[in-house]
């Protein structure tokens, strides 16, 4: 991977990196030693080299069982329990995976909504198909996945009977505690655990991400291998470290008034990766009245919707663009004379897409939008593993540069307390928040 800050330099002070070396050195130490705020949740830092090989072999075998017995795998989870798996699945295959898969199950992600329409639609779809359920929740009490699991477990038991349904339910949860762990032990579900030192949004390289991906015949070992190589590289301190450069550049741009970061890519398969990235940075940095607002765009598509605002709207935006150096497919162009596309004759669509990227950078920088560029070799499991670790590590550094705890998310609980109070859940009486009128 290569990180390039060239098109942000006009917006950065000369000492944008050197003035932050001390802070970065301290942030690195906090990540590596686990002595900083939230340090008990830094198990992901070394996970690519410490993962349990026997557990990985069992995971691959379980994925094989799912493929053999099911046309559909329903993955139930919310936030970090599903975003990473879905992001990697679509990036390494296609956003149209469920239309194109042949010798592997369709994979649907649910438990991330309370929409009766969405849940009913999927329940109806799997009713006359063989299916398995993978439920992912550390506590087992988060409402969205709990409701979805209730509904799909009932359907499994109706379809196969309670005993046979057990063989089609797989759970990823806390190793010892929680409602889902208790139920899994009671019913005899096959289980995997997320290490207690790894929070949800950093869990994509644990069983939470790897089991659904292995069920889709993607290689978890290659993902871990890429992450392990990135770990070795990013552990080296200094100005040449790309994670240090990214963390420093976004911190300097933030201090200069650029409060919104747009993650952009020119591949539609990257769209859900942007959703994973938004949770990673949004939950890690958005607290105590601080933090960049993470948003994502798909180019060139969104240049025809948000492009006007990016070019000439409020100047509080900068872009981080992910570029894949080697696209998987070529598409040569040979227009006829009356197509009015003669200027594209002899060119490949890959070349056209790259020129669109370059032209957009020039336009946006001229319009006052700094651009950062991360170049990844290709859309393969190894390189995606590197990219996942790069963003996780840079996020940890960025949070500590802001003086925040990058591993908690206290604000997430606010809506839950109100919702449970409104639903009449015991123990939540009197927890309803009362909005305060604005001061005059």
**Catalytic option among 304, 314, 336, 358:** 304
In the set 347, 351, 416, 417, the catalytic residue is 416
Q: How far apart are CA 7 and CA 370, in angstroms?
A: 6
Q: Report residue 174: phi and psi, to 5°.
A: -65, 150
Which residue is catalytic, options 144, 261, 267, 283?
A: 283
304 in active site: yes
Sign of the alpha-carbon dihedral angle for 246, 251, 254, 260: positive
Question: Using an 8 Å Cβ cutoff, are 66 and 105 in contact?
Answer: yes
Residue 192, judged by CB atoms within 10 A of its CB (0-12, 13-18, 19+), counts as buried
List the one residue out of 89, 121, 141, 30 whose CA is nearest residue 398: 30
- Strands 72-76 and 169-173 come out as unpaired
Pairing of strands 371-376, 2-4: antiparallel
Residue 95 to residue 208: CA distance in whole angstroms: 20
**Cα gap 330→311, rounded to integer Å:** 30
For the question of residue 354 being annotated catalytic, the response is no
Q: Is 55 a catalytic residue?
A: no
Which DSSP symbol is given to 439? Answer: P
Distance CA 271, CA 88 (A): 10
Return the half-sphere exposure (C-beta side, CA atoms, 13 A cut-off) of residue 270: 26
Q: Report the catalytic residues.
A: 283, 304, 416
């Amino acid at each position: 991977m290569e990180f390039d800050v060239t098109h942000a330099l006009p917006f950065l002070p000369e000492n944008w990196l050197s003035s932050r070396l001390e802070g970065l050195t301290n942030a690195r130490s906090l990540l590596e030693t686990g002595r900083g705020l939230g340090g008990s949740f830094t198990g992901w830092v070394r996970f690519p080299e410490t993962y349990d090989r026997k557990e990985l072999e069992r995971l691959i075998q379980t994925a094989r069982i799912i493929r053999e017995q099911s046309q559909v795998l329903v993955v139930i989870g919310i936030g970090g329990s599903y975003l990473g798996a879905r992001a990697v699945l679509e990036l390494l295959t296609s956003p149209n995976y469920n239309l194109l898969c042949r010798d592997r199950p369709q994979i649907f992600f649910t438990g991330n909504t309370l929409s009766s329409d969405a849940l009913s639609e999927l329940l109806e779809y799997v009713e006359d198909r063989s299916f398995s359920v993978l439920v992912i929740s550390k506590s087992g009490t988060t409402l969205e996945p709990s409701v979805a699991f209730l509904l799909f477990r009932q359907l499994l038991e109706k379809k196969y009977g309670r005993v046979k349904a057990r063989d089609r339910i797989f759970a990823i949860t806390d190793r010892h505690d929680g409602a889902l762990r208790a139920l899994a032990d009671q019913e005899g579900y096959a289980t995997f655990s997320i290490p207690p030192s790894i929070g949800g949004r950093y869990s994509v390289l644990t069983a939470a991400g790897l089991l659904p991906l292995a069920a889709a015949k993607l290689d978890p070992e290659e993902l871990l291998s890429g992450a392990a190589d990135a770990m070795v590289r990013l552990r080296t301190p200094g100005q040449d470290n790309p994670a240090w450069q990214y963390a420093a550049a976004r911190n300097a741009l933030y201090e200069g008034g650029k409060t919104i970061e747009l993650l952009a890519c020119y591949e539609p398969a990257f769209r859900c990766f942007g959703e994973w990235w938004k949770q990673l940075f949004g939950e890690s940095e958005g607290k105590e009245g601080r933090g960049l607002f993470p948003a994502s765009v798909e180019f060139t598509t969104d240049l025809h919707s948000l492009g006007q605002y990016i070019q000439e709207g409020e100047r509080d935006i900068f872009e981080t663009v992910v570029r894949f150096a080697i696209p998987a497919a070529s598409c040569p162009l040979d227009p006829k004379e009356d197509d009015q596309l003669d200027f594209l004759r002899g060119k490949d669509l890959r070349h056209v897409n790259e020129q669109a990227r370059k032209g957009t950078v020039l336009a946006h920088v001229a319009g006052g939008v700094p651009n950062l560029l991360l170049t990844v070799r290709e859309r393969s499991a190894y390189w995606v593993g590197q990219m996942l670790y790069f963003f996780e590590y840079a996020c940890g550094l960025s949070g500590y540069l802001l003086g925040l705890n990058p591993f908690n998310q206290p604000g997430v609980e606010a809506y839950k307390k109100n919702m449970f109070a409104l639903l009449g859940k015991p123990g939540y009486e009197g927890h309803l928040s009362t909005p305060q009128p604005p001061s005059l």
